[in-house]
Amino acid sequence: MTAEPQTKAKLPYLSSDKQLTFIKLSVLSMAAILSFATRLFSVLRFESVIHEFDPYFNYRTTRYLTEEGFYNFHNWFDDRAWYPLGRIIGGTIYPGLMVTSATLYNVMQFFNITIDIRNVCVFLAPFFSSLTTIVTYLLTKELKDEGAGLVAAAMIAIVPGYISRSVAGSYDNEGIAIFCMLLTYYFWIKAVNTGTILWATMTALAYFYMVSSWGGYVFLINL
């Protein structure tokens, strides 16, 4: 009996355009993963904790928000802050940070993902740094081209000035503020280039999100 000829398995052929798209997605994905991973050194070396004074206050207010609801949170008078005067929470903070964490926490609880609100607060800044990498790519691509967008995404993933404000456990406004600012920039450029009401509306929503999250919104007030 003669042996039947064996057919060699062939790898699926990718056109040059698909190969280029695959490379771009790979570079952008690696930049986003690197952005998240480089901010975990404090957790890996020590443990999942909130550090510094302002981040711990933000964590307290976020925990109160998840336990008592937004109405009580907005009208909360905290007698443990600004002692001995106390602090009216609703009128003296930027609630975007707390609302973002509480929303993510409630979404995960809805899908039966067991996680403590403290861990949500600890990993919020590294998570948003990955999103910042993607938004930076989109913004730079809109201004220049895809190659420049990939370079910008890779650079913002490891820039020291941004890492210092977005490490795990540094639960402060800047952790999401840079993302909000670049997202506002991106939507604004799209609105100017296209002239459509859709992108103008997205710009307004992104700007509202940034205003509710960070006092540095005044830098963009002339937009």
Chain segment 30-47, per-residue pLDDT in tens: 999 999 999 998 888 888
- Mean pLDDT value across the chain: 90
Establish if 170 belongs to a structural domain.
yes
Question: Which helix (DSSP H) or strand (DSSP E) does residue 70 occupy?
Answer: helix 70-74
Where are any strands of DSSP class E within the chain? Answer: 77-78, 87-88
pLDDT value at residue 6: 54
Report how far residue 65's alpha carbon sits from residue 89's, in angstroms, rounded to the nearest whole number: 11
Establish if 37 belongs to a structural domain.
no
Range of the domain at 188: 49-218
Establish if 22 belongs to a structural domain.
no
Establish if 84 belongs to a structural domain.
yes
Chain segment 75-106, per-residue pLDDT in tens: 999 998 888 899 999 889 999 999 999 999 99
Establish if 17 belongs to a structural domain.
no
Establish if 43 belongs to a structural domain.
no
Establish if 65 belongs to a structural domain.
yes
Number of domain units in the chain: 1
Torsion angle defined by CA atoms of residues 192, 196, 200 and 203, in that order, rounded to the nearest 10 degrees: -70
Q: How far is CA 178 from CA 111, 168, 193, in A?
A: 28, 15, 23
Share of the chain above pLDDT 90, in %: 72
Report how far residue 127's alpha carbon sits from residue 168's, in angstroms, rounded to the nearest whole number: 9
Query: If you average pLDDT over residues 157-182, what whole number do you get?
Result: 92
Establish if 11 belongs to a structural domain.
no
